[in-house]
Amino acid sequence: MVLDRLADEIRVAFIEVVPDATRCDTDPRAGIRLVPPTHVGERPGTRGDLAFPVGPLLATARSASGSSSIDQADQSISRRSHTGDVPDTRLTASRLAELVAKRLERLDAVDASWAEAGFVNLRLSGGALASIVWEILRAGPSYGTPPGQATVAEDEAARGPRHRLSPRLGDALRYAHARLAGLLRAGDALGVHRDPERLDPAALEAEESRQLICVLADYPGVVARYLSGRARPRAFDAYVARFLAAVERFEAGAGPLPRGDEEPSPAHSARLLVAEASRVVAGRALAWCGLPAPDRM
């Protein structure tokens, strides 16, 4: 998954600053929690797609490695400061965020990366957004299922619903699934051809599209945290609410269907592929909760 690979790269960038951090944990996502950028500030003129705090990483490194590696990193920063590279300062969370952000800018998946208030903010490239959509469509009903486990449908049949949404959220999610299915039917009727292999990354640059795609990308992580007990059950409700809000913004602002005399274009195709990926996630979330996924309501 794109976010898993990105988390690996984040950890590599962190280890470049604090070499002994390799002893923190063998899990490449340990301490790395990608969150919506609305949780932190935004750089004027640029909106982030995802963010993560570096404080937990720094605290884990200090605990696992002792102070020696952190001191060495501090000394390395101090030595480089004499060349004018960076200011002479102790390795605080804010400083670590600046160093990691600078290293992440070289990644193909990242268009921009900057530090703010101890967080690293990321704006994903169009290629990364397209990869997320393609991965969801390729996985289909198994999207978000941890490796080695049954699909959601098989698990539901064997064990029953894993989570119970509130009636309000459950109805809203079912309605969103039906609306997304309706969008796809309308696109077919208007002659919009959907081909994931020909997905145009440039057509995903609209804020409504990229925000929704980033919410979709977080679904496997939400399920994994739920299964491991690292998140309270209400965190799944919070995810569904975030998903519903992103879908509504997408429907209102992204323009997924041709209007008036407008001819179908690759942009419409790309946006309807986002709608199709959203329908997959809505269906998986409904199955997780033991609810039907209607195509019409």
Would you say 211 and 49 are in contact if contact means Cβ atoms under 8 Å apart? yes
Question: Which helix (H) or strand (E) covers residue 61, if one does?
Answer: helix 55-65
Three-state SS annotation for 176-209 = HHHHHHHHHHHHHHCCCCCCHHHCCHHHHCCHHH
pLDDT at 190 (0 to 100):
93
Distance in angstroms (rounded) separating the CA atoms of residues 127 and 135: 12
Q: Domain segments of the chain: what residues? A: 2-124, 127-288
Instruction: Say what percent of the chain tops pLDDT 70.
Output: 73
CATH code of 127-288, in short, is 1.10.730.10
Distance in angstroms (rounded) separating the CA atoms of residues 182 and 192: 14
Would you say 261 and 226 are in contact if contact means Cβ atoms under 8 Å apart? no
pLDDT at 232 (0 to 100):
80
pLDDT at 35 (0 to 100):
64
Would you say 125 and 111 are in contact if contact means Cβ atoms under 8 Å apart? yes
- C-alpha dist (Å) from residue 27 to 22, 174, 226: 10, 35, 17
pLDDT at 48 (0 to 100):
77
- Asked whether residue 74 carries a pLDDT value surpassing 70, the answer given is no
Least confident of 113-122, 245-254, 259-268: 113-122
- Asked whether residue 231 carries a pLDDT value surpassing 90, the answer given is no
The stretch 152-180 carries a mean pLDDT of 81
pLDDT digits (tens, 9 = 90+) for 47-63: 678 888 877 777 766 66
pLDDT digits (tens, 9 = 90+) for 79-122: 444 444 444 446 677 888 888 888 888 888 888 888 887 888 88
> How is residue 252 written in tokens?
């209102």
- Categorize the per-residue pLDDT at 283 as very low, low, confident or very high, splitting at 50, 70 and 90: very high
- The structure's pTM equals 0.81
* Collapsed DSSP state (helix, strand, coil) of residue 291: coil
Higher pLDDT, 85 or 232: 232
pLDDT at 36 (0 to 100):
61
Angle between helices 207-217 and 266-288 (to 10 degrees): 30
Higher pLDDT, 9 or 245: 245
Most confident among 41-55, 67-81, 235-249 (mean pLDDT): 235-249
pLDDT at 100 (0 to 100):
85
> How is residue 90 written in tokens?
């102790």
CATH code of 2-124, in short, is 3.30.1360
- Categorize the per-residue pLDDT at 27 as very low, low, confident or very high, splitting at 50, 70 and 90: very low
Would you say 128 and 7 are in contact if contact means Cβ atoms under 8 Å apart? no
pLDDT at 276 (0 to 100):
97
- Categorize the per-residue pLDDT at 167 as very low, low, confident or very high, splitting at 50, 70 and 90: very high
Dihedral Cα 74, 79, 81, 86, nearest 10 deg: -50
Would you say 211 and 38 are in contact if contact means Cβ atoms under 8 Å apart? no
Distance in angstroms (rounded) separating the CA atoms of residues 7 and 260: 43
pLDDT digits (tens, 9 = 90+) for 112-135: 888 887 888 888 999 999 999 999
Residues with Cβ within 8 Å of residue 207, at least 6 apart in sequence: 47, 253
- Asked whether residue 278 carries a pLDDT value surpassing 90, the answer given is yes
Q: Name residue 88's amino acid.
A: D
Q: Name residue 203's amino acid.
A: A
Distance in angstroms (rounded) separating the CA atoms of residues 34 and 62: 21
Would you say 208 and 249 are in contact if contact means Cβ atoms under 8 Å apart? yes
Look over the chain and give the mean of its residue pLDDT values, rounded to a whole number: 79
The stretch 159-167 carries a mean pLDDT of 78
> How is residue 211 written in tokens?
């925000």
- Categorize the per-residue pLDDT at 6 as very low, low, confident or very high, splitting at 50, 70 and 90: confident
Question: Which helix (H) or strand (E) covers residue 241, if one does?
Answer: helix 234-253
pLDDT at 9 (0 to 100):
84
